[in-house]
A and B are shown apart, each in its own frame.
Chain A
């Protein structure tokens, strides 16, 4: 065990930038949410109104969680915790895989394993890093709550719940790394489990039972299958249950024990699920840079498109419940407040029926999804370049234009495909609702409206790659994050206009406006095409930047 401190130090040393970014992200989101609650819903009556409406709206319950009364801190917890739990889950699983399976795959584990460290100490060091990071984030988030005037025990439980959810998913990440043979496979399985946890909780919360006070809910059974659901069940400002924390820690403990058992019995570089053998010859489609880019990105692209279609179907289907809601007498009194919230998501000048506002508002999130998918495709060019596979392709008679152009084409096609399938999903979900024709027309326009902004973001990331290749992964995702936070969510968070205007999404046409103005859309499309072309020209002029 004498190597343990060194290995732990090594992990923090490798992750220092990522850790700083994650911590900042958690703290900033927590601060923003507290500030928003104080500012937007400062009045008890306002909070009560929103909660009464939310309880009637499964879609919002799915996105947020189960409300626990009008107490401001409980209200903030209801708004944000589910999302923070999802983030903590992704952060922890990525961390676990990065220091286990990814190391094994790259051969670093072999190097470490040949020293005194052996097989188990690196695993324990990874676990410790993850636990420490989650505890620090929990403490900071609890600290923010305390600073905003939460009562100490509540703030403590608040932070502990977040840390516990993160630690539970740390165990998931470690176990996935044992099972899968590659870090890609392990990350894929782990993030699927985290997402499933979020969705189970979403389903459970949407099917929860309303308490007699009419202002709080008890989650349905499905939420009890999810660590994020356990974290929500802590209800730190009302029920103050500490015991769901034990569920999280127990799950983490079991998965850690399983991981240790597997780690000590299996061969280095082997998985539980065996690797299939590959083809003897390349299929006809794998003939040029475009075929190669498609082959490398096929699986993730299919994943994004399916995600878009499911999200669209969800939007369409819950649309019906929104219509029912609008007709209900309880809704009439708070409809104004909700329209306001939805309009903030949709953009300035939005008007029209509640259902249209709802659909187009949530289509803004589909736009973000499409942009992320497109950026991921384009970013693969950088992985290709840093990993050395671009070198052998470009040493063949393949121009830079054809090589990177292929990634741009796949990226742009991915953006379009995610939007098209989301619209198709929404149309399927809308079947059976009255006025289908009008609904479909609005949904199709809402999908189309997202295209220019998403393409523009892809083009900006392409330019980043062409100009500063070594920074493209970090800077590229920062561009996407900034665009989504300032644009899509800027209205909800109440950011100043000049900041929101930075994001292409802010200029997305508002299709529910009386007069839909497509000027900005055409302008963004033109800029996106010009940016993509410029990135190809600039790429032609720079050295291939290998490594790092």
Chain B
């Protein structure tokens, strides 16, 4: 597969603050890559480096094999970008802003296709394009950028927390529109701090923290790092029998229920053991990124120093 985005040891300093501190990122052609991290981890900073809006202080970054700072304009012909917090021109209507952004991207070449696509997107996103920019809410401003980005084909879509202002219905619309773009062979980089969004959409994920990559891989690979949560009714089951369940961790008897976690790859043995115990009322919670996320960020909560990075995003 072709690498679309690659960074190695990427650094960005704002004065004394290190916003990026050795960030590695690989995005392959045709995939939806989730870029996960809490607020202030450096997601937006990375994206701005990849767009050549700011220059890295160290390390390397390439987009389509080219330098994002020197070849910014050339690269932007292939990229559609939706910022996390969309600002519009106060006296331009939403429709005007969409047309303007499309023209800037050269998307008016096939005007008829564009207009049809725009009309479709305006309808599915339930967007009123005749209001002035200042009158839109955060979600509606985001829709302007989303419609402009999706109305003309691009090779790479970069979304910075795209659904942070959208309701669940609009999130579903967004997902199906992304699917259409992927059918056309596009690549997507999607930053988020919402795990369910990433789990729904992404093939591979990079998790960053304090400007550094801490985990990267496919969802399946990452799930291997997490455990499945199991509980069942524990009536009449003795401690010895519980201890015999292979691969059980954090075993706890909570009133009438027994809870434990198991490594995801140990599940066949665990289920066999549960069957032999004739366990009833079994619930199995699939492995989620949540746990992984929490594990990586848990100690951050105990290090208030990291919160100073919040200021670095601005």
Contact = CB atoms under 8 A, between A and B. Distances in A.
A286 interface: yes
Nearest to B108: A287
B132 A275 contact: yes
Interface in A502-548: 543-544, 546-548
Contacts of B132: 275, 277-278
Contacts of B85: 388
Interface in B122-167: 129-132, 134-135, 145
Contact of B134 (A105, A296, A395): A105
Contacts of B262: none
Contacts of A395: 51, 53, 76, 79, 81, 83
B92 interface: yes
B278 interface: no
A282 B314 contact: no
A57 to B, nearest CB: 42
Contacts of B145: 392
Contacts of B92: 278, 282, 286, 295
B83 A396 contact: no
Given A287-B103, A388-B85, A544-B48, A394 B53 contact: yes
A543 B54 contact: yes
B101 A392 contact: yes
A1 interface: no
B94 A278 contact: yes
Contacts of B73: 397-399
Contact of B55 (A277, A387, A399, A543): A543
A436 B74 CA distance: 57
A182 B132 CA distance: 11
A20 to B, nearest CB: 25
Nearest to A393: B104
A389 B87 contact: yes
B72 interface: yes
Contacts of B129: 280
B91 interface: yes
B58 interface: no
A278 B130 contact: yes
B215 interface: no
A397 B77 contact: yes
Contacts of B87: 387-389, 391-392
A182 B90 CA distance: 9
A214 interface: no
A279 B96 contact: yes
A506 B90 CA distance: 39
Nearest to B79: A395
Contacts of A286: 92, 96, 99-100, 103
13 contacts: A275-B135, A279-B96, A279-B130, A282-B100, A389-B89, A392-B145, A394-B72, A395-B53, A396-B105, A397-B106, A543-B53, A543-B55, A544-B48
List 7 A-B pairs, minimum CB-CB distance, nearest first. Answer: A278-B93, A388-B87, A282-B99, A396-B104, A543-B54, A397-B76, A282-B96
